[in-house]
Amino acid sequence: MKKRVISGMIFCFLISCLITGCETKKKVVTATKQSNDTKKDSVATEENSEDKTYSVGEAVTVQGEKTKLEFTITDYGSFYNGHSPAMIYIKYHAKNLGKNAEIIGQNNFSIYADDYAVNNTTLEDSMYGPTSDDVELASGKMANGIFFAQVDTEEVATLEVKINDQKTYVLQHRKSGNLQNTESQDTENNNSNDDYDDTSDTDDSEYILPNSDSEYVSTDEIDELSARDKRLAINEIYARHGRKFDNAEIREYFESQSWYDGTIDAEDFDESVLNKYEQANIKKIADSQ
């Protein structure tokens, strides 16, 4: 009798161990599967992060093996700088989130216009100031900066800035950037084109902004202009001083105006001839584009 009881107890014990072992194995398998799923989700998140683009004002973090930096592009715009062709300025804010000191400057940024790389341009002087020098940021320290590039925003559809080859800002994105090939834009601006052909005896009729050389233009005046008119209004200020233009459409437009006398090549034009009203109006119109 005792042998049967003992045998039964041993049998029950073995069955219990077997069941417990199976449940443990099941938990291990489940935990392993959950861990793998978590890794997959993490990989997917990283992949999505790589594809993400950012806009002006958004902060991004870039990392290296021993570095961690935060950048924010705070502003950008287009302008003309003396004898130079159309330019862009890009302002940024940087913060060192790592433990080691880091050198920060325009070399942290790569510019692409319609997917073509554009070299940064160092300016010693402009209406926005000079190109910022590289600075050494200690851990936790911050700096603001500005840099420039030779880009005509009217001639490109997409303008991107990549930081440390990791994060991408899209500053401009539209279907077409070529002023001469935007038929829809020409159609939209038919009324404006009629103004260009105006043969009125009044001198002011031949100007887009007749007083841009003698007073500050208002926001309302600028808002009434089309994108094409804004570009011509900026160049109208230069044209008053006899600047020539390389762009065929702009050149043909001003040569059709009775008041225009182009005598100064673009590379020889000295922007110091512009008065305070003209300089301010160029910036204001450019910022509205």
Whether residue 44 lies inside any domain: the answer is: no
Average pLDDT over residues 47-56: 71
209 shares its domain with 137 = no
Average pLDDT over residues 32-51: 52
Domain count for the chain, please give it.
2
The helix (run of H) or strand (run of E) holding residue 91 is strand 86-96
DSSP-derived secondary structure for 28-51 = HHHHHHHHHHHHHHHHHHHHHHHH
165 shares its domain with 216 = no
User: Is-contact 260 254, C-beta < 8 A?
Assistant: yes
147 shares its domain with 197 = no
Whether residue 13 lies inside any domain: the answer is: no
Final residue before a domain boundary, out of 121, 141, 173: 173
141 shares its domain with 221 = no
Q: How confident is the model at residue 125 (pLDDT cuts 50, 70, 90)?
A: confident
d(CA 196, CA 259): 13
* Model confidence pLDDT, tens digit, residues 163-202: 999 999 999 887 654 443 333 344 444 444 444 344 334 3
Residues 6+ apart with CB under 8 A from 235: 80, 243, 245, 250, 254
User: Is-contact 52 43, C-beta < 8 A?
Assistant: no
Final residue before a domain boundary, out of 132, 154, 173: 173
* Model confidence pLDDT, tens digit, residues 68-112: 999 999 998 888 776 567 889 999 999 999 999 999 999 999 999
Q: How confident is the model at residue 138 (pLDDT cuts 50, 70, 90)?
A: very high
d(CA 210, CA 227): 18
Q: Give pLDDT, residue 63.
A: 92
Per DSSP, helices labelled H in 53-198 are 183-188, 190-196
d(CA 140, CA 181): 49
Q: Whole domain around residue 235: which residue ranges? A: 179-287
d(CA 213, CA 103): 42
Whether residue 111 lies inside any domain: the answer is: yes
User: Is-contact 175 157, C-beta < 8 A?
Assistant: yes
Whether residue 46 lies inside any domain: the answer is: no
User: Is-contact 71 82, C-beta < 8 A?
Assistant: no
Average pLDDT over residues 264-275: 89
73 shares its domain with 156 = yes
Select from 170, 124, 125, 118 the least CA-distant residue to 149: 118
166 shares its domain with 251 = no
Final residue before a domain boundary, out of 125, 152, 173: 173
129 shares its domain with 238 = no
161 shares its domain with 97 = yes
User: Which CATH number is 199's domain given?
Assistant: 1.20.58.1690
Q: Give pLDDT, residue 39.
A: 52
**Phi and psi dihedrals of 85, rounded to 5?**
-70, -175
Whether residue 37 lies inside any domain: the answer is: no
204 or 150, greater pLDDT:
150
63 shares its domain with 156 = yes
Average predicted confidence (pLDDT) for the chain: 79
191 shares its domain with 153 = no
Q: How confident is the model at residue 14 (pLDDT cuts 50, 70, 90)?
A: low
74 shares its domain with 138 = yes
Q: Is residue 196 classed exposed, middle or buried when 0-12, 13-18 and 19+ CB atoms within 10 A define those classes?
A: middle
Q: Give pLDDT, residue 145.
A: 95
Whether residue 214 lies inside any domain: the answer is: yes
Of the candidate ranges 45-49, 111-115, 209-213, 234-238, the one whose mean pLDDT is the lowest: 45-49
Whether residue 14 lies inside any domain: the answer is: no
User: Is-contact 36 124, C-beta < 8 A?
Assistant: no
Q: Give pLDDT, residue 78.
A: 84
d(CA 259, CA 148): 33
pLDDT of 59 above 60: yes
Whether residue 241 lies inside any domain: the answer is: yes
* Model confidence pLDDT, tens digit, residues 100-119: 999 999 999 999 998 899 99
